[in-house]
Amino acid sequence: MDVRLDYGKEGLEISLPDHLDVKTLAYQSATPIAQQPDQTDRQALQEVLKHPNHAPPLSEIIQGRSSACIVICDITRPVPNQQILEPILETLLAGGMAPSSIKILIATGLHRASRPEEIVEMVGEDIAAKYTILNHDAQDRKQLVYLGKSPRGVPMWINTHYMEAEMKITVGLIEPHFMAGFSGGRKLICPGIAGLETIREWHSPRFLEHPNAATGQLSGNPVHSENTWIANRA
């Protein structure tokens, strides 16, 4: 039996012995919860920005703010950055921000820097050409601001570009995470744009070996509560 796995960019074909009882688990197509049947993906995103849950529209939040830093995941995360960034950037420009005052910061954590061709793949040629796009470097103190220690004693070093922006936006994905319970916004800040000392302590055994540091577990999870505290502080 031949099976194609979604592995890497091209996929992987493997052959399994015929005597094996093989069952395949595959994703089914689905309509996003916030999308109406007659809407395009772009229209659905624009509608969400105009009518978000439990928050004012982005167009209202940015009023009076002259600069923005948008944090995005790096190439290792399957986020449709270009698709999401386009309506966000349009909203910022319509609110009076200049392209030169908007920075897109790649949350590398301790990963290597994104290559130029990977940046184009992530955000598209137009966005890559028009906006300042930066790789976070957790080991470069010149890129970091020290915010003191958290209540649990974690030294908080966060990217300077993010801290200096008047408008802070994170773009990512939410999925089960084997330590933090779920991924999501606060993980783009810690570890995404945190310093080496911060990440090293947050990833230390005293957090990771806690019994509540588990997949899908938020309540009582010190990994989740710690990086949430750090993200709120930033």
Q: In whole angstroms, what is the distance from residue 34 CA to residue 47 CA? A: 9
**Three-state DSSP class for 89?**
helix
Residues serving a catalytic function are 111, 177
Q: Give the strand pairing for 132-135 and 102-107.
A: parallel
Q: In whole angstroms, what is the distance from residue 106 CA to residue 162 CA? A: 11
**Three-state DSSP class for 68?**
strand
Are 143 and 137 in contact, with CB atoms under 8 Å apart? yes
Output the CA–CA distances (angstroms, integers) from residue 13 to 51, 65, 123, 154, 201, in the order listed: 44, 51, 29, 45, 40
**Three-state DSSP class for 174?**
coil
Neighbouring C-beta atoms of residue 72, cutoff 10 Å: 25
Neighbouring C-beta atoms of residue 137, cutoff 10 Å: 17
- Beta strands (DSSP E) in 2-151 are 2-5, 12-15, 68-73, 102-107, 132-135, 144-149
Q: In whole angstroms, what is the distance from residue 52 CA to residue 44 CA? A: 11
